[in-house]
Amino acid sequence: SEKWVLMVTAQTPTNIAVIKYWGKRDEDLILPINDSISVTLDPEHLCTTTTVAVSPSFDQDRMWLNGKEFSLSGGRYQRCLKEIRSRASGFEDEKKGVKITEKDWENLHVHISSYNNFPTAAGLASSAAGFACLVFSLAKLMNVKEDHGRLSAIARQGSGSACRSLYGGFAKWIMGKNDDGSDSMAVQLADEKHWDDLVIVIAVVSSRQKETSSTSGMRESVETSKLIHHRAKEVVPKRIVEMEEAIKNRDFESFAHLSCADSNQFHAVCMDTCPPIFYMNDTSHRIISCVEKWNRSEASPQVAYTFDAGPNAVLIARNRKAAALLLQRLLFHFPPRSDADLKSYVIGDKSILQ
């Protein structure tokens, strides 16, 4: 008899860590061995748009990604769905004749449709935006009354880095102390207006999928690298304090030194893993040299670089002028050719190219 459908659409950008998360102390709950800090991209670039719908006529939970259905049976999806469902509250819309009680949610099914506005195959972080958007839209649909911190702890169980995408600007994922993960969540350090001089340029070095997933890479590092444990205990805690200070003061020099050093140490940990993991390639290394050389020729750094679990460079320019000069340099040293490794640039601000 009831023929209604309720829908919610949300959009979430991806985030890029400037102090990296690498290594879990609990794989099921996704609890990290150190805090991390990230910058969230503008919503018009690298973001996920997710629509979730509920109707009494749906007979199972289903999900589509970029128009193609895929199985929701993965533990991480199930966990996020379960956590949100258990917090659902009743909802009533008299005009539409919709009445859902808290108990009804246990038997109602959802359909989820998610789109990335960037090629999923480009090897660019997509799980962060994806799980953050999924959790946020489901929470809205099911009338969950939790703050962003609590929601971030749920998104964390989908993909660790997703917990930081619930906020714009700068976010910190606090590793937490509890074994049940209840205090492992993200907080906002500064909103998107705080430091809006920064321009982020992503140099797509290769669109191939990475060979070692972050999940297995982290596991291998935790099991075989001594450096990762030294990093988590002795290096990151101090860097977190310094990075928070740099962000607060919009101190680009410290921000750049810390971001570059932390990216390099993360990749050193990968090299220290047995067998070693290579995420960067020759082009990535050449981009690092190019940026280092330029920064050293100036009175203070113009651009920071950071690389995640892949060869693509995330370049953070101190302002629009530096970003324009950066693009000139990239185009000069790495002219895009259809058969070349470096294919294209995703630009934080399109008008920079004009």
Q: Which residues lie near ligand PMV (CB under 6 A)? A: 17, 20-22, 36, 125, 127, 159-161, 214-215, 308-309
Nearer to ligand PMV, 40 or 161 (CB): 161
Determine the Cα–Cα distance for residues 155 and 4; give it in Å rounded to an integer. 28
Contacts of 147 (CB under 8 A, 6+ apart): none
Nearer to ligand PMV, 80 or 100 (CB): 80
Nearer to ligand PMV, 125 or 290 (CB): 125
Nearer to ligand PMV, 53 or 308 (CB): 308
Q: How far is the CB of 175 from ligand PMV (least distance, A)?
A: 12
Determine the Cα–Cα distance for residues 90 and 8; give it in Å rounded to an integer. 16
User: SS3 breakdown of the chain: % helix, strand, coil, rounded to 5?
Assistant: 40, 25, 40
Q: How far is the CB of 30 from ligand PMV (least distance, A)?
A: 8
Nearer to ligand PMV, 6 or 162 (CB): 162
Q: Is the peptide bond before 275 cis (omega within 30 degrees of 0)?
A: yes
Nearer to ligand PMV, 87 or 172 (CB): 172
Q: How far is the CB of 22 from ligand PMV (least distance, A)?
A: 6
Q: Which amino acid is at 151?
A: L
Q: How far is the CB of 183 from ligand PMV (least distance, A)?
A: 18
User: Which residues on neighbouring strands pair with residue 314, listed in sequence order?
Assistant: 202, 306
Q: How far is the CB of 66 from ligand PMV (least distance, A)?
A: 18
Q: How far is the CB of 92 from ligand PMV (least distance, A)?
A: 37
Determine the Cα–Cα distance for residues 68 and 115; give it in Å rounded to an integer. 10
Determine the Cα–Cα distance for residues 332 and 327; give it in Å rounded to an integer. 8
Q: Which amino acid is at 204?
A: V
Residue with tokens 């067998």: 275
CB 286 within 8 A of CB 333: yes
- Coil, strand, or helix at residue 212? coil
